[in-house]
């Protein structure tokens, strides 16, 4: 139970006994730093029910609590705020309850609970994953882990955009310029090789456009008439018709890309429970559209196209089927959502991790699914996030100016190596240990920098700044974890036994108060789909620990019970850091 849950019934009884008034809710807030207290009751709402001044009210309730509630040691009243000081015994008792709990703050799901499906990544198979995908993957993975820790069953999934004109561009360029290259013969990861041909297509396309314009065509005409784009469009038609040769090349090149993606996901530390492919799902929604037409949810225009009118809901008319009967993205997404629940009948909601340029699309999708009568449609959430910029500016795939995810992760590892070597903290490490540590620090820096920011905000990513060993960064938190491991290794006594102490140092109490918040932070982060809440909680915990570390001796403490308790407290903090970072997909090093 939280402190507010413990105090609420006692305060309700106090108000009933003192003023013969019943209150449903008690409003609490954190005590301001300049006042003594662990939790503050807001008195002002009571003034509507009890004719008195706030200070007098606060004093009466405070005295009642001191006399009747063992957890309350003393109080003070400032204006309309009752600052309540909780006894050391309460905090010691709480700490002993959580001291050895594995995965403290995590809740185990019940077998009967509905599951949440979290979709993320969703790449195109014509290019490698880039910086934008990095934020997408890190967010989706972290939100899935946080929802799981909050007590729900979670399935991680993605839909792969493996069809369309962009895929045919890479395929055609490989036929024209590839000279039979494969990932094996070129020495390139498959996704990078295919991405190179996407860039090669664009280069050749621009050259043809310029040639046609030099011959007197307008730019619009040249774009439509360039031979290479006409061939790509013809290839797409052949793919849709099931042409054996085109489909065989499509399968081969897509597999190159999937193998490349798998290596990137492994390096990034993200995983998936299921995969959906656009080539399988793009027709899925057509039967649903027919059903919606029969129910009057959709309407058919004279040209045969099918629409839904959402103007009454403040949106507009949206097409769900073209006049020639072909599906649009909305049709596909309707069908895919329904198929996922068929595949996993225990799914009761979904989270879509997609950039904020698709905000409108998901408003429409969710509304359509509700109108179609699916009960799980009430539990759909668009995890909308802002773009990631670099100091050098925006990225463009077809021009080859994208920041490749693999290159970025390698750059982070290299940056961590440079800064670590400059600090000179790695004496006695083997080359293998150093390489592993650089990777842990570099990836931790990248993930923390991205996840500590509210998902809705745009990020300007600065690799050097992210690997700073001071301030609100991943390496700063990792360093504190490693410092605590060093303390534990040096503890040459049995620190697992009960420590018999009755009084807490102020810094010990503040640290326990910070630990007490962790379960609630997990729940809030899950409800708000925000890894930033976990990241910034962990930073606050580490700051509190470093303040404690500076203020009191740990291994240098002469009194044995105090020394034991402080090592126990340090270990609980380290375990909580590791658990919190696991929700962000970040590893912690035993030494730094």
Residue position matching structure tokens 């939790």: 39
Residue position matching structure tokens 């499509």: 250
Task: Compute the distance between CA of residue 98 and CA of residue 136 in angstroms, rounded to an integer.
Answer: 34
Considering only CA atoms, which of 206, 214, 373, 390 is closest in space to residue 295? 373
The Cβ of residue 217 has, within 10 Å, a number of other Cβ atoms equal to 16
Domain residue extents for the chain: 3-86, 164-279, 419-583
Res. 20 pLDDT band, cuts 50 70 90 = very high
Question: Region 113-126: what's the mean pLDDT?
Answer: 94
pLDDT, tens only, 194-253: 999 999 999 999 999 999 999 999 999 999 999 999 999 999 999 989 999 999 999 999
Q: Is the distance from CB of 45 to CB of 26 less than 8 angstroms?
A: no
Q: What interhelical angle do 244-268 and 227-240 show, nearest 10? A: 90
DSSP string covering 173-216, please? HHHHH-TT--HHHHTS-HHHHHHHHHHHHHHHHHHHHHHHHHTT
Query: Per-residue pLDDT for 130 more than 60?
Result: yes
Helices (H) and strands (E) in the chain, counts: 22, 14
Average pLDDT, the chain: 93
Question: Region 420-439: what's the mean pLDDT?
Answer: 85
Residue 152 has a pLDDT of 96
Residue 397 has a pLDDT of 42
The reply to whether 3-86 and 419-583 are identical in fold is: no
Res. 392 pLDDT band, cuts 50 70 90 = low
Residue 502 has a pLDDT of 87
Q: What interhelical angle do 431-451 and 405-423 show, nearest 10? A: 120
Contacts of 35 (CB under 8 A, 6+ apart): 76, 78, 83
Q: Is the distance from CB of 88 to CB of 503 less than 8 angstroms?
A: yes
Cα angle 374, 375, 378 (rounded to 5 degrees) comes to 105
Percentage of the chain surpassing pLDDT 90?
A: 83
Q: Which class in CATH covers the domain with range 419-583? A: mainly alpha
Residue 392: C-alpha distances to residues 167, 453, 459 (Å): 28, 20, 13
Query: Per-residue pLDDT for 423 more than 80?
Result: no
Res. 581 pLDDT band, cuts 50 70 90 = very high
Residue 213 has a pLDDT of 96
Give the CA radius of gyration of the chain.
Answer: 30
DSSP 497: S
pLDDT, tens only, 458-508: 998 888 888 888 889 999 999 999 999 999 999 999 999 988 888 999 999
Res. 439 pLDDT band, cuts 50 70 90 = very high
Task: Compute the distance between CA of residue 447 and CA of residue 587 in angstroms, rounded to an integer.
Answer: 10
Task: Compute the distance between CA of residue 499 and CA of residue 501 in angstroms, rounded to an integer.
Answer: 6
- Multiple choice CATH, 3-86, 3.30.1360.70, 3.40.1190.20, 3.40.50.720, 3.40.50.2000: 3.30.1360.70
Strand 388-389 and strand 347-355: the pairing is unpaired
pLDDT, tens only, 499-508: 888 899 999 9
Q: What 3-state class would DSSP assign to 543?
A: helix
pLDDT, tens only, 170-188: 999 999 999 999 999 999 9
Q: Is the distance from CB of 512 to CB of 98 less than 8 angstroms?
A: no
Query: Per-residue pLDDT for 394 more than 70?
Result: no
Percentage of the chain surpassing pLDDT 70?
A: 98
Identify each DSSP E strand in 408-477 by its residue range: 459-460
Question: Region 399-422: what's the mean pLDDT?
Answer: 83
Res. 327 pLDDT band, cuts 50 70 90 = confident
Q: Is the distance from CB of 167 to CB of 397 less than 8 angstroms?
A: no
């Amino acid at each position: 139970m939280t402190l507010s849950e413990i105090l609420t019934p006692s305060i309700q009884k106090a108000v009933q006994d003192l003023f013969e008034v019943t209150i449903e809710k008690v409003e609490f807030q954190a005590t301001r730093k300049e006042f003594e207290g662990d939790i503050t009751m807001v008195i002002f709402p009571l003034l509507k029910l009890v004719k008195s001044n706030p200070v007098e009210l606060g004093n009466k309730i405070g005295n009642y609590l001191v006399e009747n509630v063992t957890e309350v040691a003393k109080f003070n009243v400032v204006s309309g705020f009752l600052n309540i000081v909780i006894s050391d015994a309460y905090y010691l008792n709480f700490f002993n309850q959580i001291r050895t709990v594995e995965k403290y703050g995590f809740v185990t799901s019940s077998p009967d609970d509905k599951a949440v499906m979290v979709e993320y990544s969703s790449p195109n198979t014509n290019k490698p994953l880039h910086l934008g995908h990095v934020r997408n993957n890190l967010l989706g993975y972290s939100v899935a882990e946080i929802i799981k820790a909050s007590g729900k069953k979670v399935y991680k999934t993605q839909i792969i955009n493996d069809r369309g004109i962009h895929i045919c561009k890479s395929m055609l360029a490989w036929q024209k310029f590839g000279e039979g290259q494969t990932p094996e013969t070129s020495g390139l990861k498959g996704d990078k090789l295919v991405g190179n041909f996407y860039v090669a297509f664009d280069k050749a396309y621009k050259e043809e456009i310029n040639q046609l314009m030099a011959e007197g065509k307008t730019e619009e005409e040249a774009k439509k008439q360039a031979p290479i784009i006409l061939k790509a469009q013809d290839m797409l038609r052949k793919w849709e018709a099931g042409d054996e040769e085109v489909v065989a090349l499509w399968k081969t090149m897509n597999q190159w890309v999937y193998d490349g993606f798998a290596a990137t996901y492994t390096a990034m530390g993200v995983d998936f429970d299921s995969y959906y492919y656009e080539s399988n799902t793009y027709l899925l929604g057509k039967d649903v559209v027919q059903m919606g037409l029969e129910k009057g949810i959709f309407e058919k225009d004279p040209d045969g196209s099918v629409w839904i009118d959402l103007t009454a809901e403040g949106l507009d008319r949206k097409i769900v089927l073209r006049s020639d009967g072909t599906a649009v993205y909305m049709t596909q997404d309707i069908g895919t959502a329904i198929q996922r629940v068929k595949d996993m009948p225990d799914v009761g909601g979904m989270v879509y991790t997609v950039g904020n340029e698709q905000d409108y699309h998901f408003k429409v999708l969710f509304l359509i699914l509700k109108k179609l009568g699916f009960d799980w449609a009430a539990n759909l959430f668009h995890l909308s996030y802002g773009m990631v910029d670099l100091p050098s500016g925006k990225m463009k795939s077809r021009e080859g100016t994208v920041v490749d995810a693999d290159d970025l992760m390698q750059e982070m590892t290299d940056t961590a190596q440079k800064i670590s070597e400059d600090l000179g903290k790695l004496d006695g490490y083997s080359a293998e240990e150093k390489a592993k540590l650089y990777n842990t620090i570099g990836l931790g820096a990248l993930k923390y920098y991205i996840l500590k920011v509210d998902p809705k905000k745009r990020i300007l990513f600065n690799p050097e700044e992210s690997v700073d060993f001071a301030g609100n960064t991943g390496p700063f938190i990792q360093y504190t974890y490693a410092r605590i491991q060093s303390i534990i290794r040096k503890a040459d006594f049995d620190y697992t036994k009960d420590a018999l102490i009755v009084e807490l140092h102020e810094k010990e109490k503040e640290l326990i108060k910070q630990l007490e918040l962790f379960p609630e932070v997990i729940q809030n982060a899950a409800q708000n789909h925000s890894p930033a809440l976990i990241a910034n909680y962990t930073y606050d915990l580490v700051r509190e620990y470093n303040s404690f570390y500076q203020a009191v001796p740990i291994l240098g403490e002469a009194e044995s019970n105090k020394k034991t308790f402080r090592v126990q407290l340090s270990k609980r903090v380290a375990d909580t850091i590791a658990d919190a970072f696991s929700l962000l997909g970040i590893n912690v090093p035993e030494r730094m």
